[in-house]
Amino acid sequence: MNKRPPKVIVTKIGFDGHDRGSRVIAACLRDAGMEVIYTPPWQEIATVVKLAIEEDADVIGISSLATDHLIIPKLMHALRDAGLQDVHVIVGGIIPAKDEKELLQSGVAKVFHPGSSLEDIVNEVRSLAQSRTHSEA
């Protein structure tokens, strides 16, 4: 059966404009054969949800090097409200342990910290994308 490659949105929400890491991840995922939709920094939650719907994304990768990860639970809520509870969200960046716990409880699938291997990130994204259940299937 021919299945499309995993479709991943790589983005930054909030006011953190440090996007070097997210650009590296986007290129790495693309090089691994995934379809990557990369957005510039400073995205709003509603924009990310709309893009996930339009692109039929399997995974959303959020990069946070400031405290913008604290609004990710709002993103998770917005995704559920839009019927996208099957779209997996991963977060990468500088995330304190207490905040990581809150993110995972809100529904984030995985948190990657500085120093995570690119191979681990690619494997996790591929696994999450393959486990996504498409409601229209």
Query: Residue 125 falls within a domain, yes or no?
Result: yes
Which pLDDT belongs to residue 123? Answer: 98
Give yes or no for a contact between 42 and 12, defined as CB atoms under 8 angstroms apart. yes
Query: Residue 137 falls within a domain, yes or no?
Result: no
Query: Residue 35 falls within a domain, yes or no?
Result: yes
Query: Residue 135 falls within a domain, yes or no?
Result: no
Q: What are phi and psi of 38, to 5 degrees?
A: -100, 130
Of 78, 77, 104, the C-alpha closest to 90 is 104
- Number of independent structural domains in the chain: 1
Which pLDDT belongs to residue 77? Answer: 98
For residue 122, give the 3-state DSSP assignment: helix
Run means of pLDDT, 10 residues per run, the chain, 137 residues: 84 87 96 97 96 97 90 97 97 94 97 96 97 61
Query: Residue 1 falls within a domain, yes or no?
Result: no
Query: Rounded to an integer, what distance in angstroms lies between the CA atom of residue 111 and that of residue 73?
Result: 13
Q: Which domain holds residue 124?
A: 7-130
pTM higher than 0.85: yes
Which pLDDT belongs to residue 1? Answer: 43
Query: Residue 72 falls within a domain, yes or no?
Result: yes
Please report the sign of the dihedral spanned by the C-alpha atoms of residue 117, residue 100, residue 93, residue 125. Answer: positive
CATH of the domain at 17: 3.40.50.280
Query: Residue 2 falls within a domain, yes or no?
Result: no
Which pLDDT belongs to residue 134? Answer: 57
Query: Residue 83 falls within a domain, yes or no?
Result: yes
Q: How do beta strands 110-112 and 35-38 pair?
A: unpaired
